Structure 1
Amino acid sequence: MTRTPKADTSLDQQPPLYPTLDSWVTGYFTPMFLHRVGDGTRQRWCTEWWIHPEAIGRLTLLWTTWETARCDPSLKAAWWNDLDHHLPLLLAPDGAFRACRPQTTEQAGIHAPAELPLAEPAPLGYQET
């Protein structure tokens, strides 16, 4: 029996629907998932998300895997699992946007990347013991 190879539906064959992270965040992610953020007490979002390295990392992962799953429907469930993992971490009160506050009628918004913890360089040979 001869099998016909499955058609290649990878991103190599199809251009991305959203060519940049910014276009995906503003065109898909924000309208689809941020309608529940509210006042920022239980979940936090920063309108200047691009100044937060952790947010860029998590959103880039979600965008690229979303584009891949869009072309290969067998990967859609895995993408939703990724989203279910990363979204609570991203929006958590102690997550990437912990130092940010939305603008209110009483006060201006705060858009500040969280301060990075200090880390001393490891001494030479530390893995050799």
Structure 2
Amino acid sequence: MKGAPGGKSKGYSYTETSCLYNRIAVPSGFTYDGASVPRIAWSITGIRPDGLLRAAAAVHDWIYQWKGQLPRGSHAFRIDEFPWQDAIGRWRRKDCDRLFGRMMREAGVPSIKRKMAYLAVRLLGGLSW
């Protein structure tokens, strides 16, 4: 992924692991705004739309663009060592926002910044959904 504050995706895949694996694939060339952080908020909150936040923002924006109903091939799952299968169903906005928070945590975004970004998508994300 390149460019700040957003840019075009070079492609990204996030895999969540447990006994059930989920994979979200953001295609190469997907344009996103890098977490929609207004410039004025950069200095106030310390949250910038790049760096550790970037991958979480790309996946979050991808799911939001489709209002949770991802196109075929974008979301797959598998159980243990079985082959990947296309996932059927729609993401709820709340679950998409939770994934955003989880990906930020796994990327090492500091707790206070992560909580502010999560709260912002919960409060304002409905405008884009």
Compute the TM-score of the two structures, normalised by the length of structure 2.
0.26
Whose RCO is larger (CA < 8 A, sep 6+)? 1
Q: Which has the larger radius of gyration?
A: 1
Compute the TM-score of the two structures, normalised by the length of structure 1.
0.26
Structure with greater proportional strand content: 2
